[in-house]
Amino acid sequence: MIGTNITLEVKEVAKYFGGVRALDGVSIKVPNKGIVGLIGPNGSGKTTLFNVITGFYLPTKGEVWFKGERIDGLNPNEVFLKGLVRTFQIPRLFKSLTVLENVLVTPPRQIGEKVLYSPITSKWVNQEESLVEKAVNLLHRFGLGNFIHSRISELSAAHIKMIETLRGLITNAYMYLLDEPAAGVAYNTARELFTMVKRLRDEEGLAFLIIEHRLEVLMDFVDYVYVLHNGKLLAEGTPREVMNNPKVIQAYLGG
């Protein structure tokens, strides 16, 4: 049913809120190790699509397939456990925890997170030790070694975005949904973030679906772009094709 080289497939998904058709028959595909952009004017349904994919909304119609499994109807926590990690437009980190702890919260099935075992240190201390080591190595690898014990409030916007993305790597992340990773950061920082995305694709074999308004950054890094407008797909293609599509220009400039 699904080609072996497709990671995520959204089939004819619709989401209605009363009379509002936030999504109206959208189909997209993200191939293995693909970096796919999702663009469109405000209110075109990009974030709604993310919410459908990650289980926050049940689609009114249509199906979502991930690695050959149907995932619409699952809860957000179950979607994560399948290997689909989401970041938010406004990063959602745990404010009172340190950078290291933010990464350590992520791994699923921790023995010490079971309430019956948590008071018995010897049951989980070995697992915790290896997770700490893994997390520290991960943070060092991406140049965050100096911030291990910092609180989230002490970090810059770019670092916060990086950590939100990186914390999924300590577990079985397979694909990322990034919601406006470059919003609110300087041009060069935005390019750094996208370079990190590329690095993650090349080193870890991850696939990406990225919502982004800053096309000048996005277009240099993605393989393929979908354009949403009023809940429908307006266009799709390589960055160059999409940028030259008169319909896209009209939707963005509101001609």
Partner 1 sequence: MIGFNVLGFLISWATFLGIYSILSISLNLEVGFTGIVNFGKVAFYAIGAYIAATVSTYTILMLYNIRAAPYTTEGIIALGKYEYLNPFLDAGLFLLAIVLGFAISGIVGYLLTYPVLRVGPEFVGMTLLAFGELLRIFFQNYQPAGGSKGLMSIPHPLGWLRTPLIKDGLYTLIVLGFLVLIYLYSQKLVNSPFGRLLKAVRDDEVAALCLGKHVPRVKATILFISSGFAGIAGVLMAFYLSAINPNMFMAVVTFNIWGMVILGGMANNLGAIVGAAILTFIDRALTFVTPNLGITIITPDYIRWMSIGLLITLVLLFWPRGMVPEKPVETPPLKLIKKRGDRNEHNA
The binding site for partner 1 (CB under 8 A) comprises 54, 75-78, 80-81, 85-86, 88, 92-98, 100-101, 104-106, 108, 110-115, 118-121, 124-125, 128-129, 132, 136, 148-149, 167-168, 171
Q: Is the Cβ of residue 4 or residue 96 nearer to partner 1 in the bound state?
A: 96
CA torsion, ordered 40, 43, 46, 50, to nearest 10 deg: 170
In the complex, the smallest distance separating the C-beta of residue 199 from partner 1, rounded to whole angstroms, is 22
In the complex, the smallest distance separating the C-beta of residue 47 from partner 1, rounded to whole angstroms, is 13
In the complex, the smallest distance separating the C-beta of residue 103 from partner 1, rounded to whole angstroms, is 10
Please list, residue by residue across 72-88, b when 16 or more beta carbons sit within 10 angstroms of its beta carbon and e when fewer do.
bebeeeebbebbbbbbe
In the complex, the smallest distance separating the C-beta of residue 207 from partner 1, rounded to whole angstroms, is 17
Closest CA to 161 of 111, 224, 212: 212
In the complex, the smallest distance separating the C-beta of residue 250 from partner 1, rounded to whole angstroms, is 35
Q: How far apart are the C-alpha atoms of 178 and 89, rounded to whole Å?
A: 8
Q: Is the Cβ of residue 68 or residue 108 nearer to partner 1 in the bound state?
A: 108
Q: Is the Cβ of residue 78 or residue 241 nearer to partner 1 in the bound state?
A: 78
Secondary structure (3-state) at 93: coil
Q: Is the Cβ of residue 27 or residue 150 nearer to partner 1 in the bound state?
A: 150
Q: How far apart are the C-alpha atoms of 26 and 44, rounded to whole Å?
A: 11
Q: How far apart are the C-alpha atoms of 22 and 228, rounded to whole Å?
A: 11
The per-type count for the chain, helices as H runs and strands as E runs, is: 9, 10
- In one letter, which amino acid is 227? V
Q: Is the Cβ of residue 151 or residue 191 nearer to partner 1 in the bound state?
A: 151
In the complex, the smallest distance separating the C-beta of residue 72 from partner 1, rounded to whole angstroms, is 16
**Phi and psi of 70, rounded to 5°?**
-85, 125
Give the count of beta carbons closer than 10 Å to the beta carbon of residue 24. 18
Q: Is the Cβ of residue 93 or residue 207 nearer to partner 1 in the bound state?
A: 93
